[in-house]
Amino acid sequence: METLISAIIYAIVFLFGTAIGSFINCLVWREHNNMRVADGRSRCVHCGRQLRWYENIPIFSYLFLAGKCHTCHKKIPGYYLLTEFFTGVLFLFVFWLDLYYFHFSWRHLIGDLILLAFLVTIFVGDVLYRVIWPEVVWLGLVAGAAYNFFSHGASWRSMVLGFVIGGGFFLAQHLLSQGRWVGGGDVRLGAMMGVWLGWPVILVAIFAAYILGAIVAVPLLIFKKKNWSTAVPFGPFLAIATFWALNHGERVVNWYVGLLK
Ligand SMILES: [Zn+2]
């Protein structure tokens, strides 16, 4: 009985993730085409026909329609399926992590999932169109501030400092390299991370991202002789580090402060 209940809960979390993934696809598409986000029902990206409800079900519709529009028979972009599936998997993974490793609380889970939804949106937009849309990041920043304030009354000072340090760290590199190492999108993303994590946890996240990046990139650089700036995109490391720091950052800070005493 217990296994059945947990299987049902896991299935709900997965399906919820695929629904968010479906919304992210729609958001990315409308953002890319300069449409308003609240622009009525979903349409076929080719012929513009409004989709019926059964053509709008995450994953299932794509498979049921064999990846093609009913009317114009053109292919539905494959990333639609990928985003839906992987958002579902990520939601499941984060739920599982929170349950077994991060001392489960609804407060943590909700924060993790909101942040995850924004990071997936940023990731998909960046991979498909090489842009990090300011509107998405600013919205993520506001969501982070609201979440921190209402869920645990985080101090504004900590969030503003996080914003300045997170944004400033990447802004400095942006200016120093004249935009060659990091783009403007990364600067905004750094600021958003700073608001979510606050001061001083933002430092832990940046540090962790570089360690993680180095672990992956250094062997690539040595064995494949790749150029540092083209070898690996930094975004995924930032995303992973941000997640981890959201749950463990404070412990690391306390440990470090303990060392200094
Ligand atoms: Zn069509």
pLDDT confidence band for 227 (50 / 70 / 90):
low
Does the model's pTM come out above 0.75? yes
Cα–ligand 1 centroid distance for 50 (angstroms) = 9
Q: Residue 93 pLDDT > 80, yes or no?
A: yes
Output the CA–CA distances (angstroms, integers) from residue 246 to 164, 239, 249, in the order listed.
18, 11, 6
Q: Residue 170 pLDDT > 60, yes or no?
A: yes
- By the CB criterion, residues less than 5 angstroms from ion ligand 1 are 44, 46-47, 69, 71-72
DSSP state of 151: H
Q: How confident is the model over 108-157, as pLDDT tens digits?
A: 889 989 999 998 998 888 878 877 888 899 999 999 999 999 988 888 99
Tokens describing residue 133: 């849309």
Cα–ligand 1 centroid distance for 175 (angstroms) = 45
pLDDT at residue 230 in the model: 54
Cα–ligand 1 centroid distance for 136 (angstroms) = 27
Q: Can you give the residue ranges of every domain in the chain?
A: 1-131, 133-261
Cα–ligand 1 centroid distance for 205 (angstroms) = 44
Place of tokens 């509107």: 135
Q: In the predicted model, what is the mean pLDDT of residues 67-93? A: 91
Output the CA–CA distances (angstroms, integers) from residue 115 to 85, 124, 147, 214, in the order listed.
18, 14, 10, 24
Cα–ligand 1 centroid distance for 48 (angstroms) = 6
- Exposure of 63 by Cβ count < 10 A (0-12 exposed, 13-18 middle, 19+ buried)? exposed
Cα–ligand 1 centroid distance for 58 (angstroms) = 17
CA–CA dist 173, 63 (Å, integer): 45
pLDDT confidence band for 159 (50 / 70 / 90):
very high
